[in-house]
Amino acid sequence: MDIYPVLNCRDADEMRDALKVVQGFLPFGQWIHIDVADAKFTPHKTWNAPEDWPSFRANYNLEVHLMTEEPEKEVPRWLAVGAGRVIVHLEALTEDEHHVARRGVDELITEILAACFPANAQALLAVNPETPVATSLQYFKRFNGAQILAVNPGLSGQKFQPTVLNKLTYLRQTMPGATLEVDGGITPPVVRRVREAGATIAVSAHYIFETGDPKRAYNELVAAAKGLAPGERTG
pLDDT band per the 50, 70, 90 thresholds, residue 189: very high
What is d(CA 16, CA 229) in angstroms, rounded to the nearest whole number? 34
Condensed to tens digits (0 to 9), the pLDDT of residues 9-45 reads 999 999 999 999 999 999 999 999 999 999 998 888 9
Condensed to tens digits (0 to 9), the pLDDT of residues 168-184 reads 999 999 999 999 999 99
Query: Is the predicted pLDDT of residue 52 greater than 80, yes or no?
Result: yes
pLDDT score, position 118: 97
What is the pLDDT averaged over residues 53-65?
A: 95
Query: Is the predicted pLDDT of residue 149 greater than 80, yes or no?
Result: yes
pLDDT score, position 83: 98
Rounded alpha-carbon distances, angstroms, from residue 125 to 55, 89, 142, 206, 232? 29, 6, 9, 23, 34
What is d(CA 152, CA 32) in angstroms, rounded to the nearest whole number? 21
Condensed to tens digits (0 to 9), the pLDDT of residues 95-133 reads 655 555 567 899 999 999 999 999 999 999 999 999 999
Mean pLDDT across the chain: 92
User: Each residue of 128-157: b (16+ CB within 10 Å) or e?
Assistant: bbebebeebeebbeebbbbbbbbbebbbbe
Is residue 184 within 8 Å of 194, Cβ to Cβ? no
H-run or E-run covering 234:
none
Question: What percent of the chain is predicted at pLDDT more than 70?
Answer: 93
More confident residue, 97 or 198: 198
The structural domains of the chain, ordered by start, are 2-225 (3.20.20.70)
What is d(CA 201, CA 180) in angstroms, rounded to the nearest whole number? 6
Residue 160 C-alpha from the chain's centroid: 15
- Which one-letter DSSP state was computed for residue 145? E
Condensed to tens digits (0 to 9), the pLDDT of residues 151-170 reads 887 666 678 999 999 999 99
